[in-house]
């Protein structure tokens, strides 16, 4: 039997930056997921992702895991950052870049 919580826990804890999203970074299938991908790409952040549209179990499981009702969901060093609105607000204020740097996440370009 597949344990969705163990899968989510593994992805969150074993990737510096992980995004649960609709679609893929190359082909986001919702505007909110696309916004978070654009922000991470602009900052030059390497990240991994999972497409919640591929599995209803994952789509429901990630919402239960964080008790957060929407997708996308961004994690940095195992910490839940938030969805598209929070990520966008943190990016616009400069807080996201600072948070990533303080967490030891490499940024490929100065933004």
Q: Which residues are annotated as a binding site for [2Fe-2S] cluster?
A: 30
| Binding site members | 30
End-to-end CA distance of the chain: 44
**Residue 4 near residue 58, CB atoms below 8 Å:** yes
**Residue 44 near residue 32, CB atoms below 8 Å:** no
SS3 5: helix
């Amino acid at each position: 039997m597949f344990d969705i919580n163990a899968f989510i826990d593994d992805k969150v804890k074993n990737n510096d930056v992980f995004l649960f999203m609709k679609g893929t970074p190359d082909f986001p299938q919702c505007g909110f997921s696309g916004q978070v991908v654009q922000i991470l790409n602009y900052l030059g952040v390497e990240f991994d992702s999972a497409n919640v549209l591929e599995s209803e179990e994952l789509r429901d499981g990630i919402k239960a895991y964080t008790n957060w009702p929407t997708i996308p969901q961004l994690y940095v060093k195992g910490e839940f950052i938030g969805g598209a609105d929070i990520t966008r607000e943190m990016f616009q204020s400069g807080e996201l870049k600072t948070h990533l740097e303080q967490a030891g996440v490499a940024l490929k370009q100065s933004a």
